[in-house]
Structure 1
Amino acid sequence: MVLSFILIQNRQGKTRLAKWYAPYNDEEKIKLKGDVHRLVAPRDQKYQSNFVEFRTSKIIYRRYAGLFFCACVDANDNELAYLEALHFFVEVLDSFFGNVCELDLVFNFYKSYDRLLYTSLKSEELSVYAILDEVFLAGEIEETSNQVVLTRLEHLDKLE
């Protein structure tokens, strides 16, 4: 199972987070962002699945409020595993931000760990990309346990 990229986009198509696991040049990245948004934004989540054929791959996406969390995977990969991994990533972000929203990704790109409920850590800052790398690493699903990810983030925070 290998990811090509992960995108978080709003309803207007503005990309709030992009992580590329395959080599694309800047022009290709811009085109991919637009193509993915045009593909997933108009879909009706009540009547259409969260899996879309995309070129030689698949887009697995999940909409949370006004944000689309999208992953591009190989055509033969397990869609449900990636759908659950996207949901898990949102759960970790919720633990970090306390009900994550688009503004958290825009204005609080680096967020203090004081907001975590499970422990009182020093006020070090980690990026959303560090959280993403604890769930997806090198295009693979790295971890699926909330407690393990939060513990790793705590250790990472102590290193800084």
Structure 2
Amino acid sequence: MISVFSLQGSKLVYNHLATLYFVFVFDSSENELAMLDLVQVFVETLNKCFKNVCELDIVFNFNKLHTVLDEMILGGQVIETSSEEIMRSVEEIARLEKQSSTTSLIPKSISQHFSR
């Protein structure tokens, strides 16, 4: 269920999904339908990320949630509305993070010397 409320100079859009509420607050000059779509894309992407998102997914993976938001919105501007594109970027970021955590910053010649 998606709803829109007007506040003093701002508008609020929320989507209720199971036990989660996703709330976006935006300037009254923004297009309400565009914001409704943005909330829908956000929820859809989180469902893809977590296979039916729940509270625990958000609590224990808040960094992934922020990554999704960062791929959608930059500097207050919507930069991506395709759930598939957002997922590709999030997966690439996760792959790079995993790769960088397994890459040793110590050259092999030095690490072999100390491992003896």
Give the greater-gyration-radius structure (CA).
2
- In structure 1, distance between residues paired with 2:21 and 2:91: 27
Give structure 1 regions of 4+ aligned residues with deviation exceeding 4 angstroms.
none
The equivalent residue for 2:61 is 109
Query: Which residues in structure 2 correspond to 1:4-153 (within 5 Å)?
Result: 50-106=3-59, 108-109=60-61, 127-153=64-90
Q: Deviations over 1:68-87 (max 9, x none)?
A: 21111111211111111111
Q: What stretches of structure 1 of length at least 5 have no aligned partner?
A: 1-44, 111-125
- In structure 2, distance between residues paired with 1:87 and 1:135: 12
The residue identity in structure 2 corresponding to 1:109 is N
What TM-score comes out, normalization by structure 2 length? Answer: 0.74
- In structure 2, distance between residues paired with 1:127 and 1:149: 12
CA RMSD of aligned residues (A): 1.8
The equivalent residue for 1:32 is none
Structure with more contact order per residue of length (Cα contacts < 8 Å, sep ≥ 6)? 1
- In structure 2, distance between residues paired with 1:140 and 1:60: 17
More helix by share: 2
More strand by share: 1
The residue identity in structure 1 corresponding to 2:92 is H
Q: What stretches of structure 2 of length at least 5 have no aligned partner?
A: 98-116
Helix, strand or coil for the counterpart of 1:104? helix
How many residue pairs are counted as aligned between the two chains?
Answer: 97
The residue identity in structure 1 corresponding to 2:14 is Y
The residue identity in structure 2 corresponding to 1:55 is Q
In the TM superposition, what is the alpha-carbon distance from 1:95 to its structure 2 partner? Answer: 0.7
Helix, strand or coil for the counterpart of 2:80? coil
What TM-score comes out, normalization by structure 1 length? Answer: 0.55
